[in-house]
Amino acid sequence: MFFLYNAGSQCQFCRSFSMTPAISIKDLYKTYDNGFEALKGISLDVAEGDFFALLGANGAGKSTTIGVLSTLVRKTSGSVQVFGKNVDTNSYETKLDLGVVPQEVNFNHFEKVFDIVVTQGGYYGLPVKLAKQRAEKYLKQLGLWDKQNQQARNLSGGMKRRLLIARALVHEPRLLLLDEPTAGVDIELRRSTWEFLQEINRGGTTIILTTHYLEEAETLCRNIAMIDAGVIVENTSMKSLLRKLHQEYFLLDLREELTQAPVLDGYNCQLIDPAILEVALESHQDLNDVFNRLQALNIQVKSMRNKSNRLEQLFVSLLKKPEQTA
């Protein structure tokens, strides 16, 4: 029974030695009964221990991919392996390794928070005592312990999403699938959920995240695949993806307000606010040069930040490529 109750610790032990990918998808096709082709032959490997983002617009095929992994969606063709085991022939073992956080809230709203998590533990073969201990552990970590005796319908939207995460973790899976886990969650809760997920990932759990919050992917994930109309258009590390940016935008907080944007030869500048200057930097340009020029114009910069839509620009440009070649 070791593999049932100690999946998490076993995983941590073997992780550094394992060369088997957490998931390996080959030529995956899915055509729904209504004829819609959601996946058109995607292939994807995610390394064990990775924090991986699957990015795409609505209807791109992200949730279908998660659905196939979790067996809620039946693939039309192709092969899917989880930790080297085929989901068709070893479905019990692969399901034990998976924790699924769906996009839609899908628990019984009339059940108590604690019961929802403990019951899920029972479905994974955890004895009641252990399931209760795990439920307490994850509800506490996710800030839901004081709501344990409340019916789930009384939770706020953000709390419901955190309950989904606690439920998915009760059997301590080696691989956590998160389908837009912070959709509709306020900024504060989103940040704390990110921190929690990063901690889980540091503990050894492989995480695959679908999102269309690009900032989320950029903050959390080491590797990324972009999916569009059922086809993977990019699959690389976050760093190398961001290196592909030809332009990067910086926001400079100015010490004194300006009435119009300064003219810096070769740079695209605009005032977002009288005290905030946006500067677009080409990959060959140097930020020091910008500061020197501003200094020469007697414009003092108080602070600076990276504009957070870098990934968004890249995402849009990648999705435009097929249209341009068509």
Question: Pseudo-torsion of CA 149, 151, 157, 158, nearest 10°?
Answer: 20
Note whether 87 binds other proteins by CB under 8 A.
no
Q: Considering the rule CB under 8 A, would residue 8 count as an interface residue with other proteins? A: no
Per CB under 8 A, 129 contacts other proteins = no
Residue 101: phi, psi to the nearest 5?
Answer: -110, 105
Neighbouring residues of 53: CB distance < 8 A, sequence distance ≥ 6? 208, 209, 210, 211, 216, 217, 220, 221, 223, 224, 225, 238
Interface residue with other proteins, options 93, 136, 248, 312 (CB under 8 A): 93
Of 95-103, 178-186, 246-254, 301-309, which segment contacts other proteins by CB under 8 A? 95-103
- The residue among 36 and 253 lying less far from other proteins, judged by its C-beta, is 36
Least distance (Å) from other proteins to the CB of residue 67? 7
Q: How many C-beta atoms surround the C-beta of residue 289 within 10 A? A: 13
CB-count burial class (<10 Å; 0-12, 13-18, 19+) for 296: exposed
Considering the complex, state which of residue 133 and residue 313 has its C-beta at the smaller distance from other proteins: 133
- Read off the tokens for 121: 């533990």
Give the binding range for other proteins (CB under 8 A) out of 66-74, 239-247, 255-263, 272-280.
66-74
Give the CA-trace dihedral at 165, 169, 173, 177, to 10 degrees: 0
Binding status of residue 125 toward other proteins by CB under 8 A: yes
Q: Which has the closest alpha carbon to 68: 77, 55, 59?
A: 77
**67 in contact with other proteins (CB under 8 A):** yes
Examine residue 91 and tell whether it contacts other proteins (CB under 8 A): yes
Q: Cα–Cα–Cα angle for 134, 161, 191, nearest 5°? A: 95
| CB nearer other proteins, residue 71 or residue 236 | 71
Which range of residues in 89-97, 140-148, 235-243, 284-292 is near other proteins by CB under 8 A? Answer: 89-97
- Determine contact, residues 174/83, Cβ cutoff 8 Å: yes
Q: Which of the residues 159 through 218 are near other proteins (CB under 8 A)?
A: 167
- Residues found near other proteins in the complex (CB under 8 A): 1, 4, 32-33, 67, 70-74, 89-93, 95-96, 98, 100, 102, 104, 106-110, 115, 119-120, 122-127, 167
